Amino acid sequence: MICVRSPTLKMSNILDKIFADKQKELAGTKSNLPLAELKVRMGDQAPVRDVFKALNGGKSSKIIAEIKRRTPFKGELRENFNAGEIAGDYARNGAATLSILTESNHFGSHIGILQEVRPIAPIPLLRKDFIFDEYQVYESRAHGADLFLLIATWLEQNQLTDLLCLGKELGLPALVETHNEYDMEKAFEAKANLIGINNRDLTNGKTDLGIARRLIPMALQEPGNTLVCESGISGRQEIEEFEEIGAHAFLIGESLMTSENIPEKLKELLGNGESTNKS
């Protein structure tokens, strides 16, 4: 049984609030769709697509392109949001993997988007949500995800390790997201081999690319890890900088979601198009 961390009575930051709201929501979700039924649905899914193969090898940059309607920090990101159309643009224009926000209370999404996108994009799908319970791992697989997110900043060490192990038992890798040295040590202890370095502080929304500059060398001390640089990437120059110091892939959301032309922005980030970065 996985121990669930309890947030403080007075919410100290937005990350605690998101997880607290998710805990309340999950009780109803479990009632509406019991674990036994989830396990049956898992058997109906196509084989898991290999994210490690997608993010390693070849000369081209590897981008995990994100489908995200809104955030608690920036509000609505795109008018006339259509997940299917965005997924098609990403898949046709070089994305290696898709990140699908499925959180409802603060990001305006739902887990059904995974099934909507699955037939459109023949590449791995990351379920990006606030996962702390075994049920959510089974839920991710039952809805067609190929991997799921674990946020080391919020999860206790035993939770992180247990959820990562459960995913491996189901053939479902986890992207373990870190933001500081303590998080990285937790990822090492859990034996994660797909590690995200998030430049955004999820407790306040602030972004600092210095986080990746500091943590990538630390992450490389453990051989065999696949490193994903997350948040704050807006142009090709940043991708080239972080590839030079060891990043394997880049999870990019807002600069794509707010672009007037998603295909051209993605091509630019991959180094295949004209720059659209106005900075």
Q: Is residue 16 assigned to a domain?
A: no
Active site residues: 66, 68, 128, 177, 198, 230-231
pLDDT at 12 over 70: no
What CATH number does residue 105 fall under? 3.20.20.70
Q: Are strands 147-151 and 174-178 parallel, antiparallel or unpaired?
A: parallel
CA-nearest of 137, 132, 208 to 171 is: 137
Q: Is residue 177 assigned to a domain?
A: yes
| pTM across the whole model | 0.91
Q: Is residue 19 assigned to a domain?
A: no
Q: What are the backbone angles phi and psi of residue 8, rounded to the nearest 5°? A: -60, 155
pLDDT band at 7 (very low <50, low <70, confident <90, very high): very low
pLDDT band at 4 (very low <50, low <70, confident <90, very high): very low
Q: Is residue 81 assigned to a domain?
A: yes
Q: Is residue 27 assigned to a domain?
A: no
What does the pLDDT look like over 147-204, one tens digit per residue? 999 999 999 999 999 999 999 999 999 999 999 999 999 999 999 999 999 999 988 8
Across the chain, where does the E strand assignment appear?
63-67, 70-71, 75-76, 97-101, 125-128, 147-151, 174-178, 194-198, 226-230, 249-252
Q: Is residue 24 assigned to a domain?
A: no
Q: Is residue 36 assigned to a domain?
A: no
- Structural domain tally of the chain? 1
Q: Is residue 113 assigned to a domain?
A: yes
User: CA 254 to CA 12: how far, in whole Å?
Assistant: 25
Cβ neighbours of residue 230 closer than 8 Å, sequence gap 6 or more: 177, 196, 197, 198, 199, 200, 250, 251
Expressed as residue numbers, the domain containing 114 is 51-270
